[in-house]
Structure formats: C-alpha cells, structure tokens
Amino acid sequence: MALKRPYLDFIESSIEHAFGTQSSGLRMMELGDQIVLDPETDADTGKAYFTNRGYHHVSVDINGLHGSVVRDLSRPEQFQDWHGAWDIITNAGTSEHVEPFESQYECFRIIHDCLKVGGIAVHLIPDVHQHDKHGAWKNHCRFYYSDTFFEWLAKECGYEVLFNTVIDGLRCATVRKTSHVPFMNDRATFLAAIAQREYSIDLYARVLFSWMGLGRLLRRLGLT
C-alpha cells in the first residue's frame, strides 16, 4: 500500500501528538518498503520522506528494495537486536500480508518487542467492517482488523490508544506502549480477534507474491 497524503498526515499527526513538534532524531522503523504517492512531496519512498524530516529511519521488507533491511516479519528471532530500540513503528498496509495466518501473532509480537516504552505504533491497515459493508480493500488481503481489535490489544499489552479511526477504508490506529510487559502469550485468542476473508487471486499471482515480495510485484505490474 502506497503512502498517500492522508496517510502521511495521520502518521505525522500521531507523532506530533505523542512527541510534540520537536521530533527530529526520533528512531522510526517502517514495516514494508513503502512508496509515496503524493506529487506535492519531495520524496518517492517512505524512507526518503521521513529521513528528509530528520528521523533515523529504517525500513524492513523481504524484497530488500530502496535500502530496506531484509528481515521476515514472521521470524521474531531476526529482530532480537532491535528490542526496545524504536520510538515509532509504522505499519502502513504491511501486517495484513504476513502469511500464514498464524504468523500474524509473530508480526504483532515483533512490533511490541521492538517498540520502546513511551514509543508509538501507527497502524493503517484494512478495516473488516469497511470491507463487509462497502467492499473496501476487497481482495487486497486475507486478514482484516477492527476498532475493537486495537482496543482489546491495548488492554492486553499495556498500550494507550491515541487514535482509532477510519481513513479510506483503513483502520487507522495509533497506540503508545506505556509499560515494559511481555507480549500476550495466548496465541489462539489473539488470532481469533483478526478477521479472515476470502481472497481471490490466481495461482500465477500467488507464485509471484511468494517469489518477488509484495512491493516488487506491484511495481512489476505497474500498480504503484
């Protein structure tokens, strides 16, 4: 999912709310190699956009494009050196593509473990109610989230919910980590809180997703 102006505004508003206007030098980890679709900006990737604004920025994507660090969001052991290292983690259209379904648990555990106490996680990911009522982001992914998912996750993991709204059919939620507690260990209950929907994609595209990674596939097809 590309970073459009409303999404950038939500991320930056969340940062300002949490850290004030003097946010230069904060450490930001971006999930996925994000591109920017906004003709008014001075950058074409999330890395360039936020680096230009003074953040210490690292993007993580198995495609390794645009300077992203190659790490797998289903493999927590690959992130142990980054535990408690990041002030801001952005999840803009990434976690919903982490497969298989059981690895959703690992992905959110990685976010939790890598976030500093006092840091924020900014999520912009497909909303299940918008999908079911309006067809928003249909066939974009198999996994969808809700407002209650983030309210519940906050209670389980010691987060403060700063924002929990919808933009363009995306569940846009920002949570602040308030204490140093382990990520919840009840995998089954966690997975039950994420909605699964049918995902129509042909075999050839599935092979491409696996082989090339989401970002590279979209660019190959000319969709970003």
Q: Is the pLDDT of residue 208 over 50?
A: no
Count of helices and strands (H, E) across the chain: 8, 10
Q: What is the pLDDT of residue 212?
A: 44
Instruction: Spell out the residues 6+ positions from residue 184 whose beta carbon is closer than 8 angstroms to its own.
Output: 156, 157, 190
Looking at residues 127-152, what average pLDDT do you find? 97
**What proportion of the chain, given as a percentage, has pLDDT over 90?**
83
Predicted pLDDT at 201: 59
At 1 the pLDDT is 77
Q: What type of residue is 34? A: Q
Q: Is the pLDDT assigned to residue 24 strictly greater than 90?
A: no
Helix (H, G, I), strand (E, B) or coil at 117: strand
- For the chain, what percent of residues have pLDDT higher than 70? 89
CATH number of 3-199: 3.40.50.150
What pLDDT score does 29 carry?
98
Q: Is the pTM of this model over 0.85?
A: yes
184: closest CA among 102, 106, 75? 106
Please calculate the CA angle 20-26-30 and round it to the nearest 5 degrees.
Answer: 110
Confidence label for 220 from pLDDT (cuts 50, 70 and 90) = very low
Cα–Cα distance, 12 to 23 (Å, whole number): 10
What residues does 3 pair with on adjacent strands?
36
Q: Give the tens place of pLDDT for each residue, 163-202.
A: 999 999 999 999 999 999 999 999 999 999 999 999 875 4
CA dist 108 and 106 (Å) reads 6
- Kindly report, residue by residue over 76-134, the tens digit of the pLDDT: 999 999 999 999 999 999 999 999 999 999 999 999 999 999 999 999 999 999 999 99
pLDDT for res 204: 42
Q: Which two tokens stand for residue 8?
A: 């950038």
The pLDDT of residue 207 is 43
Strands 115-126 and 170-177, sheet pairing: antiparallel
pLDDT at 42: 86
Q: What local confidence, expressed as pLDDT, does residue 224 receive?
A: 46
What element of type H or E holds 189?
helix 187-192
